[in-house]
Amino acid sequence: MTIFYSEHSKVYVSVDCIIFGFDEGQLRVLIGKRQMDPGRGEWSLYGGFVGAHESVDDAASRTLFELTGLRNIYMRQVGAFGSVDRDPGERVISIAYYALINVKDYDDRLRQEHGVEWVNINALPPMYSDHREMIKKARRMMQDKIKTEPISFQLLPQLFTLTQLQRLYEAVNGEEVDKRNFRKRIKDMNFIEKTEQIDKTGSKRGAYLYCFNKNAFNEDTNFKL
């Protein structure tokens, strides 16, 4: 068998998954204590090495399913992280991905099994290697995407209040928005539909629940928030 590229050194390729969730008005990320050397015991993203017969996208999808038990998750590639000294064990290049899930869809037994926790993105602990850098870059990408794509609905339940939607935008962007202007823009979007159902968990009067109409959005070419 002919061996090609034998004159070049070999490197490992891995994927790291940044899983975002929204709960109690906070943008959270799923992280856990590293259970292998090097860096055992340090806070880390969940990831793994790319198999010999799978693409990096397939490796990321597999890793996400192993952790969450969920398929068809909204997932986007963040980029490659390949500093020479990023991994003290070997020369490892990691392809980072971010994913958005509804926290309520995630089986808490899986979270406990894998030893991961939902941590407020504004209160991240020191983390292994360049994992904080990955999270920061992923959040910046989310902040750009959320203005032109309806990715916020990946993080919300099927029915939500306008207050929940506003709090989500504030959590992603890290700043408050004007309630009156925000709701005015929302009312101009025909793909955010008001239902007759009322959520009374926050007050006796309650608040109307809304839903996202995907078909209506596909017909709207001027979305910008």
pLDDT tens-place string over residues 30-82: 999 999 999 999 999 999 999 999 999 999 999 999 999 999 999 999 999 99
Question: Can you tell me the distance from the alpha carbon of 114 to that of 109, in angstroms, rounded to the nearest whole number?
Answer: 9
Cβ atoms within 10 Å, residue 81: 20
pLDDT, position 222: 59
pLDDT, position 214: 84
Q: In terms of Cα–Cα distance, which of 86, 88, 85 is closest to 96?
A: 86
What is the average pLDDT across 142-150? 92
Residue 224 has pLDDT above 70, yes or no: no
Reported as a pLDDT band with limits 50, 70 and 90, residue 186 is confident
pLDDT, position 178: 94
Cα–Cα distances in Å, from 35 out to 39, 78, 121?
Answer: 8, 24, 22
Residue 223 has pLDDT above 70, yes or no: no
pLDDT, position 146: 93
Residue 221 has pLDDT above 60, yes or no: no
Reported as a pLDDT band with limits 50, 70 and 90, residue 209 is very high
Reported as a pLDDT band with limits 50, 70 and 90, residue 2 is low
What is the average pLDDT across 161-175? 95
Backbone angles phi, psi at 114, to 5 degrees: -90, -5
Question: Can you tell me the distance from the alpha carbon of 44 to that of 35, in angstroms, rounded to the nearest whole number?
Answer: 9
pLDDT, position 95: 98
Q: 94-122, pLDDT tens digit by residue?
A: 999 999 999 999 999 999 999 999 999 99
What is the average pLDDT across 24-34? 96
Q: What percent of the chain has pLDDT over 90?
A: 78
Q: In terms of Cα–Cα distance, which of 16, 40, 45, 15 is closest to 30?
A: 45
Element (H, E) at 132: helix 131-148
Residue 200 has pLDDT above 90, yes or no: no
Residue 4 has pLDDT above 90, yes or no: no
CB-count burial class (<10 Å; 0-12, 13-18, 19+) for 198: exposed
Structure tokens at 78: 């963040």
Show the beta-strand stretches assigned E in the chain. 12-23, 26-33, 43-44, 46-49, 74-81, 92-100, 116-120, 192-199, 207-212
